């Protein structure tokens, strides 16, 4: 089988830790990033699932308001949109409503939203309980993960989400399949992106 390509987008308020998570995913270390992202950055990783090479492109969008209109374009081509918030920042949790509504405006109907609460290492400064977050996500039927950019758990999250996407796709009718593309030749039926 040819390689499969998955495209994801990370969104959320400025400073919540999107770039730090992706830096950890790519380089396996914590980089105390001082600069906010300008526009959109791109990360590429590869993983193996069920003996298939999965090529994953992740768009790291800027949380600053001035870049929001640029970022809207990236929701459309993503099979999963990860909405990130900061467990030590209540506003970033309250703003999930805004991000969910923006994402729903632009994403493909069969693309998925996943919420990640990050900076879990700063336990003393935590502002939102796991119970409250899980209740919120359950009500919206959205999967939730909790992590920080100093652990490797983000690898697990990306692998599990990718595994589930591929599994769900296998059991869907052709007309409902999510858009997956192979590396070079985009197949029409098992298509996407
Ligand atoms: N302790 C701790 N600090 C973190 C963590 N993740 C990010 N930070 C810090 O939070 C600040 C903002 O992180 P970024 O990754 O730049 O945030 P961002 O969401 O990409 O921000 P924008 O690019 O402006 O949208 C930086 O100083 C990071 O070092 C974490 O998991 N733990
Ligand atoms: Mg950033």
pLDDT in tens, the chain (193 residues): 567 899 999 999 999 999 999 999 999 999 887 899 999 999 999 999 988 899 999 999 999 999 988 888 888 889 999 999 999 999 999 999 999 999 999 999 989 999 999 999 999 999 999 999 999 999 999 999 999 999 999 999 999 999 999 988 776 656 565 555 544 433 332 323 3
Q: Whose CA is nearest to atom 6 of ligand 1?
A: 17
Name the residue ranges covered by the structural domains of the chain.
4-182
Confidence at residue 46, expressed as pLDDT on a 0 to 100 scale = 94
pLDDT at 38: 95
Distance 183 CA to ligand 1 centre (A): 31
Residue 124 and residue 19: Cα distance in Å, rounded? Answer: 23
**Which atom belonging to ligand 1 lies closest to the Cα atom of 22?**
15
CATH of domain 4-182: 3.40.50.300
Q: How far, in Å, CA of 130 to CA of 188, rounded?
A: 42
Query: What residue's CA is closest to ligand 1, atom 21?
Result: 15
Mutate-to-test residue for ligand 1 from 11, 12, 15, 146, highest number of ligand atoms within 8 A of CB: 15
C-alpha count within 13 angstroms, C-beta hemisphere, residue 156: 9
């Amino acid at each position: 089988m040819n390689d499969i390509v998955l495209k994801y987008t990370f969104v959320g308020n400025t400073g919540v830790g999107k770039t730090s998570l992706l830096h950890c995913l790519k380089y396996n270390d914590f980089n105390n990033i001082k600069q906010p992202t300008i526009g959109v950055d791109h990360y590429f990783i590869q993983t193996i699932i069920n003996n298939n090479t999965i090529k994953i492109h992740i768009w790291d969008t800027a949380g600053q308001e001035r870049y929001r209109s640029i970022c809207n374009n990236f929701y459309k081509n993503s099979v999963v949109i990860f909405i990130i918030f900061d467990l030590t920042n209540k506003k970033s949790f309250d703003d999930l409503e805004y991000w969910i509504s923006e994402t729903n405006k632009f994403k493909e109907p069969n693309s998925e939203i996943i919420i990640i609460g990050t900076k879990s290492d700063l336990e003393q400064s935590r502002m939102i309980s796991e119970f409250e977050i899980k209740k919120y996500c359950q009500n919206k039927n959205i999967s939730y993960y909790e992590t920080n950019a100093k652990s490797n758990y983000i690898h697990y999250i990306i692998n599990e989400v990718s595994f589930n996407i591929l599994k769900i796709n296998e059991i869907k009718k052709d007309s409902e399949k999510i858009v997956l593309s192979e590396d070079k030749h985009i197949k029409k039926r098992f298509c996407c992106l």
